[in-house]
Amino acid sequence: MNQDLSIFSLMLQASFVVQLVMAALLLVSLASWTVIFAKLISLSKVRASNDAFEQEFWSGKNLNDLYQAVAGKAQTSPLERIFAAGMREFLKLRERRMGDGATLLDGARRAMRASFHRELDAIESNLSFLASVGSVSPYVGLFGTVWGIMHAFVGLSNLTQVTLATVAPGIAEALVATAIGLFAAIPAVIAYNRFARQIDRTAITLETFIEEFSNILQRNAVQPAPAGTAGPATR
């Protein structure tokens, strides 16, 4: 009699422990794909918004006007928030006449670095989940396979005659767990590596902006504030 060896049938025929492992791996795989698609969208938005602000920043717009525009936005990019943090601290220290140009620049840089680390933490959210799925899922699947093979051989011990037809279904059921583990792990590993490279490039962009903006603030720190304002207006 022919036996149904389809994936779905093998999953239904597997032992309870193996079925539990398969169900857990499928749920993890679903969660992993959810994170992957959400991360694709969020990183795309971060890149687009950063590029838009960087283009506006280097267009020659007055820094005070740019700061007011950023402060009035409901949704801002990481680059805009870093810019606003540095500009806010610079204006605050300059208005209070606290220290010389070096003090103003140091305060602004520290504010931007703190904002940079907050932004990086937000961008890297859920990345560790993908790393965990990629590293743990194959071993969970392997556990299901080992358990399934043990269960199959225990059942075969009661038979007087063992043939390939009697061994194959039990082994196949067990191997499905490993296959599902790899199905969950491989996309997570690929996505993790891709997102890690994108986040590294984003971090470099943010750090480069901090250095360039610091140079602008350094030039303005040694100049008197323009009439009617406490902040820099020139590049």
pTM across the whole model: 0.80
Structure-token match 């597997």, residue found: 14
Note the pLDDT tens digit of each residue in 9-27. 666 666 778 888 889 999 9
The answer to whether 144 and 18 have CB atoms below 8 angstroms apart is: yes
Given a cut of 60, is residue 164 above it in pLDDT?
no
Distance CA 49, CA 79 (A): 8
Distance CA 62, CA 20 (A): 62
What pLDDT shows up at residue 174? 76
Distance CA 81, CA 59 (A): 18
Note the pLDDT tens digit of each residue in 117-153. 999 999 999 999 999 999 999 999 988 888 878 776 6
Q: Bin 134: left if φ > 0, else alpha if -120 < ψ < 50, else beta.
A: alpha
The answer to whether 14 and 148 have CB atoms below 8 angstroms apart is: yes
Angle of helix 63-71 relative to helix 78-95, nearest 10 degrees, comes to 120
Cβ of 159: how many Cβ atoms within 10 Å? 10
Taken as a whole, the chain contains a residue count of 235
Mean pLDDT of 31-60: 94
Written as one string, the DSSP assignment of 81-143 is: HHHHHHHHHHHHHHHTT-S-HHHHHHHHHHHHHHHHHHHHHHHTTTHHHHHHHHHHHHHHHHH
For residue 227, what pLDDT band results from cuts at 50, 70 and 90? very low
> Exposed (0-12), middle (13-18) or buried (19+): which is 188, by Cβ within 10 Å?
buried
What pLDDT shows up at residue 50? 94
Given a cut of 70, is residue 45 above it in pLDDT?
yes
Note the pLDDT tens digit of each residue in 48-73. 999 999 999 998 888 989 999 998 88
Task: Report which of 186, 181, 142, 184 is spatially closest to residue 32, judged by C-alpha positions.
Answer: 184
Distance CA 156, CA 160 (A): 8
What pLDDT shows up at residue 228? 47
What pLDDT shows up at residue 121? 94
Mean pLDDT of 108-114: 94
Task: Report which of 205, 228, 217 is spatially closest to residue 51, judged by C-alpha positions.
Answer: 205
For residue 156, what pLDDT band results from cuts at 50, 70 and 90? low
Mean pLDDT of 148-171: 64
